[in-house]
């Protein structure tokens, strides 16, 4: 059963321990999100990861209705304050897989891809999908 990690007006994050699965679902209201909101919410989730020692192996990121554009400065902040702490606090960071369902908003999707590309290790384990079903199937298939 999924455990809520962060629930906000802009997105929700959950962790399912049995599957080692982290899920993030963005909402259309993300269009109103500020950079301060983004930082505060992502800081909260990184702190919960560290505190609860989540054993995440699979990341399912549903960006279909994500309308938040991540600036260059925020992309760098994300790499430093989110990606690096997450990977360094996972028990098996070399086994992580990321399935990202792409945003319908081109500019938002481009900024997401740039954010992923700022950290080489994350870039190598991230695959993009247009179908949530295909993304989930790929992510949870036995290696």
Helix (H) or strand (E) holding 36: helix 35-52
Number of domains present in the structure of the chain: 1
CATH label of the domain that carries residue 23: 3.30.750
Expressed as residue numbers, the domain containing 86 is 3-140
Helices (H), 53-141: 72-78, 84-88, 106-117, 120-124, 132-140
CA distance 141 to 121: 21
Return the pLDDT at 127.
Answer: 85
Q: Closest by alpha carbon to 87, among 61, 62, 119?
A: 119
Per-residue pLDDT of the chain (143 residues; tens, 9 = 90+): 999 999 999 999 999 999 999 999 999 999 999 999 999 999 999 999 999 999 999 999 999 999 898 888 998 999 899 988 998 999 998 889 999 898 554 444 444 554 555 555 554 578 888 899 999 999 988 65
Return the pLDDT at 108.
Answer: 47
* Model pTM score: 0.85
Return the pLDDT at 106.
Answer: 44
């Amino acid at each position: 059963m999924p455990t809520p990690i962060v629930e906000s007006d802009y997105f929700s994050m959950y962790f399912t321990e049995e599957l080692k699965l982290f899920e993030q679902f963005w909402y259309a209201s993300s269009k109103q999100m500020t950079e301060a909101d983004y930082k505060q919410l992502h800081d909260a989730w990184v702190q919960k990861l560290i505190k609860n020692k989540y054993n995440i192996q699979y990341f399912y990121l549903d960006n279909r209705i994500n309308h938040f554009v991540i600036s260059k400065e925020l992309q760098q902040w994300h790499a430093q304050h989110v990606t690096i702490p997450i990977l360094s606090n996972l028990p098996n960071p070399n086994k992580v897989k990321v399935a990202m369902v792409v945003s319908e908003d081109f500019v938002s999707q481009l900024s997401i891809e740039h954010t992923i590309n700022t950290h080489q290790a994350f870039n190598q384990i991230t695959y993009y999908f247009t179908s949530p079903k295909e993304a989930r199937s790929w992510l949870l298939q036995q290696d």
